[in-house]
């Protein structure tokens, strides 16, 4: 009898929540444009504004500061720009500083020129080097404009949590703008844009169980804002023109409400399952290298290298056994390549690494089955014979 497939790639995309599916279906039955003043338009506007409140609550922000986009990549390109306004006054950003382990949507620099983007190294533990960041900000040419710093809350490959509050303090001291990529943290860590000290935060619908095609740029206030990326009819207060994707936004709202409920309790159970799986992996293959195991990580992620097994080979082997996992980020058009995150951490990235990421729907039986598959695959390795 064929074993049911096991999905363990939640960091790439979470399964659509029943609540989100129902919200999307209900929204499909609504007619009207949210910019219209008639009853149908007002009904659609109410749907969008209710979603704005729910997303803001998830981020500990004000609803008025939530800008809906087509996803986190668009939100990143919206905020990563040299051109800002402080109220009605133009404000120039001279340079963007990103850590070496940022998601490609941030490492590419958005609307900054390549010569305006500077990578900040990370430690061997995969944490941004605060001394290097401080030195870079101290050397920043203020005549070129303000500095902007973009750092992820939790890395999408390793799950390692970054010291965002410490980064915020350095950015504030330098008089700069701080952007936090909270895509992997949303729903897994309680978020408050004020407590973090961020000026902007980026989140994504499909990472928390909502539909693809919706994301948000969340600001701390309404005074400091980037120039519009998409211009037109002036939707989203002129920050993002185009008729809102109300169906996806409705699903985003439902997912945000589920994600915001009892985060600590939910993640305690998920972390226990991840730790149980890693213990089984170490028992089956004591030489497995679990990256960031002794560092602060979000509780659903395990990123590991199995000596003698290349990542692409391992991914195929797991898939053939009915287990869906990934070899690092899933945002490279299906390509499996060398992990730039491991390289930035100073590790030999030639073998690559595999990422298991789980979620609230992951069962005990699935963890047990994944452990069995891991033991089976690790046992097939042909390791080099040590010299006598």
- Look at residue 332 and tell me whether its pLDDT is greater than 70: no
Q: Please tell me the predicted confidence (pLDDT) of residue 388.
A: 43
Average pLDDT for residues 155-165, to the nearest whole number? 97
Catalytic-role residue among 24, 59, 331, 370:
331
Q: Which of 260, 277, 297 is the last residue of a domain?
A: 260
Could you tell me if 159 and 80 are in contact, meaning their C-beta atoms sit under 8 angstroms apart? no
307 in the same domain as 284: yes
Q: Please tell me the predicted confidence (pLDDT) of residue 346.
A: 86
Place of tokens 């693809």: 212
153 in the same domain as 94: yes
* pTM for this prediction: 0.94
176 in the same domain as 90: yes
Tokens of 173: 């001291």
Q: How confident is the model at residue 197 (pLDDT cuts 50, 70, 90)?
A: very high
| Cα dihedral 72, 337, 374, 122 in deg (nearest 10) | -70
Question: Which tens digit of pLDDT belongs to each residue from 199-248?
Answer: 999 999 999 999 999 999 999 999 999 999 999 999 999 999 999 999 99
Count the domains in the chain.
2
Average pLDDT for residues 99-104, to the nearest whole number? 96
The Cα 347–Cα 364 span in angstroms is: 32
Q: Please tell me the predicted confidence (pLDDT) of residue 338.
A: 72
- Lowest mean pLDDT segment, chosen from 181-190, 263-272, 274-283, 321-330: 321-330
Could you tell me if 327 and 353 are in contact, meaning their C-beta atoms sit under 8 angstroms apart? yes
Q: Which of 260, 281, 298 is the last residue of a domain?
A: 260
Q: Please tell me the predicted confidence (pLDDT) of residue 339.
A: 85
- Bridge pairing between strands 117-120 and 215-219: unpaired
Which CATH number characterizes residue 319's domain? Answer: 3.90.1150.10
Known catalytic residue: 59?
no
289 in the same domain as 239: no
10 in the same domain as 47: no
Could you tell me if 38 and 32 are in contact, meaning their C-beta atoms sit under 8 angstroms apart? yes
246 in the same domain as 312: no
Q: How confident is the model at residue 335 (pLDDT cuts 50, 70, 90)?
A: low
Residue 86 lies in a domain: yes
Neighbours of 323 (CB within 10 A): 23
Give residue 212's domain range.
19-260
Residue 31 lies in a domain: yes
* Residue 25 CA neighbour count, 13 Å, CB half: 7
116 in the same domain as 199: yes
Residue 196 lies in a domain: yes
209 in the same domain as 274: no
Residue 386 lies in a domain: no
Share of the chain above pLDDT 90, in %: 91
Q: Please tell me the predicted confidence (pLDDT) of residue 333.
A: 42
Q: Please tell me the predicted confidence (pLDDT) of residue 271.
A: 98
Which CATH number characterizes residue 165's domain? Answer: 3.40.640.10
Indicate left, alpha or beta for 267 from its phi (over 0: left) and psi (-120 to 50: alpha): alpha
Angle, alpha carbons 22-27-33 (nearest 5°): 170
- Look at residue 253 and tell me whether its pLDDT is greater than 80: yes
Residue 323 lies in a domain: yes
353 in the same domain as 251: no
101 in the same domain as 51: yes
Residue 103 lies in a domain: yes
237 in the same domain as 193: yes
For the chain, how big is the Rg over CA atoms in Å? 22
- Look at residue 96 and tell me whether its pLDDT is greater than 80: yes
Tokens of 79: 């905020």
140 in the same domain as 193: yes
Residue 210 lies in a domain: yes
Average pLDDT for residues 40-59, to the nearest whole number? 97
Q: Which of 241, 260, 279 is the last residue of a domain?
A: 260
Residue 384 lies in a domain: no
């Amino acid at each position: 009898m064929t074993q049911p497939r096991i999905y363990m790639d939640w960091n790439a995309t979470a399964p659509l929540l029943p609540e989100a599916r129902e919200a999307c279906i209900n929204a499909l039955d609504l007619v009207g444009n949210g910019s219209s003043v008639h009853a149908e338009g007002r009904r659609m506007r109410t749907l969008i504004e209710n979603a704005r409140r729910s997303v803001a609550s998830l981020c500990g922000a004000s609803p008025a500061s939530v800008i809906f986009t087509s996803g986190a990549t668009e939100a990143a390109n919206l905020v990563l720009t040299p051109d800002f306004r402080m109220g009605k006054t133009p404000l120039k950003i001279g340079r963007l500083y990103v850590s070496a382990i940022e998601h490609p949507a941030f490492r590419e620099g958005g609307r900054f020129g390549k010569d305006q983007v500077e990578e900040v190294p990370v430690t061997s533990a995969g944490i941004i080097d605060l001394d290097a960041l401080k030195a870079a900000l101290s050397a920043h040419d203020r005549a070129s404009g303000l500095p902007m710093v973009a750092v992820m809350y939790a890395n999408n490959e390793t799950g390692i949590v970054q010291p965002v509050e410490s980064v915020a303090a350095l950015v504030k001291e330098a008089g700069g703008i701080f952007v936090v990529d909270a895509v992997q943290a949303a729903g897994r860590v309680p978020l408050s844009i004020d407590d973090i000290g961020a000026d902007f935060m980026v989140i994504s619908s499909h990472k928390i169980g909502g539909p693809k095609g919706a994301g948000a740029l969340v600001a701390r206030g309404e005074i400091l804002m980037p120039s519009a990326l998409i211009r037109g009819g002036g939707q989203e207060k002129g920050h993002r023109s185009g008729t809102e994707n109300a169906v996806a936004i409705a699903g985003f709202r439902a997912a945000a409400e589920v994600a915001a409920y009892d985060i600590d309790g939910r993640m305690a159970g998920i972390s226990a399952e991840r730790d149980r799986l890693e213990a089984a992996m170490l028992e089956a293959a004591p030489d497995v290298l679990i990256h960031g195991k002794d560092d602060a990580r979000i509780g659903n992620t395990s990123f590991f290298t199995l000596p003698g097994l290349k990542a692409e080979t391992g991914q195929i082997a797991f898939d053939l056994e009915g287990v869906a996992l990934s070899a690092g980020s899933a945002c490279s058009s299906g390509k499996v390549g060398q992990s730039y995150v491991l390289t930035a951490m100073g590790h030999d990235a030639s073998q690559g690494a595999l990422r298991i990421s789980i979620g609230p729907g992951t069962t005990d039986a699935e963890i047990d089955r994944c452990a069995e598959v891991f033991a089976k695959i690790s046992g097939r390795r042909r390791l080099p014979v040590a010299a006598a």
